[in-house]
Structure 1
Amino acid sequence: MSNAYTMDTIIKVEENLCITCGNCIRTCPAGLITKKEFPLPIDNAWDLCIDCGHCVAVCPTGALHQRVMGPEDCDPIDIHLIPRWEEARQFLVSRRSTRVYVNRPVEKDKILQVLDVARFAPWGGNRQGDHLHWVVISDPAQVHRVAEMSIEWMKSVGESNPGMYKEAKLELFTSAWDEGEDQISRGAPCFIQAWAPKDERTAPQGATIALAYAQLAAHGLGLGSSWSGGINTAAQAYPPLIELLELPEGIVSYGTILLGYPAEPFMKIPARKPLNVTWR
Structure 2
Amino acid sequence: MKSKTGLTKKLLGAAAIIALVFVLGSCSKEVFDSGITKAFTLTSTANGASYDIRVGLPANYNPSTEKYATIYVLDGKEIFEFVANKCKAISDQQGVKNALVVSIGYGKDRSIDYTPTKVSDVTGGAPEFMHFIETQLIPKIEQDYSADTSRAGRVILGHSYGGLFGGCAFAANNTVFGNYILLSPSFWFDNLVALHLEKSTRPLNAARQQLVFMGIGELENSGRMQAPFEAFYQALDNNYPAIKLAKNSERNLDHMGSRNQNIVKGLTFYFQNR
- Normalised by the length of structure 2, the TM-score is 0.21
Larger radius of gyration: 1
Which is richer in helix? 2
- Normalised by the length of structure 1, the TM-score is 0.21
- Between 1 and 2, higher relative CO (CA 8 Å, sep ≥ 6) is seen in 1
